[in-house]
Amino acid sequence: EVQLVESGGGLVQPGGSLRLSCSVSGLNFNDYWMTWVRQAPGRGLEWVANIKQDGSHTYYVDSVKGRFTISRDNAKNSLYLQMNSLRVEDTALYYCARVRGRAYFDFWGRGTLVTVSS
């Protein structure tokens, strides 16, 4: 059974940092691009970042470029999102998911909630 489990969310002040983790099991993690997608409360889905199998290529939505860093540790079957200079508008449920065909996501975690507030 494929499982993706996010962790690391919480309450942080504007300007602060958080590191999200996604632990993956049930698939050959090394073989796939991975992604982070977020959903603000009561809003739609927003893609955040993609990372290639070996971590050599990454893509980001413009609003997080220079502040967020996606990374992975294939030995630990884990995906990460380092979030710095957090803003109120980054408040959202953050999902990790497996990428297929560059742009569709077939397995999702349940998400971890990030709240940025003073």
Binding site residues, other proteins, CB under 8 A: 35, 37, 44-47, 50, 59-62, 95, 100-106, 108-111
Structure token pair of residue 36: 């982070």
Cβ proximity to other proteins: between 35 and 116 the closer is 35
From residue 100, give the alpha-carbon distance in Å to each of 15, 35, 84, 104, 105: 34, 10, 28, 5, 6
Centre a 10 Å sphere on the Cβ of residue 50 and count the other Cβ atoms it contains.
Answer: 21
Residues linked to residue 7 through DSSP beta bridges, in sequence order: 21
Q: How near is the Cβ of 103 to other proteins at its closest, in Å? A: 4
Q: How near is the Cβ of 13 to other proteins at its closest, in Å? A: 28
Q: How near is the Cβ of 39 to other proteins at its closest, in Å? A: 8
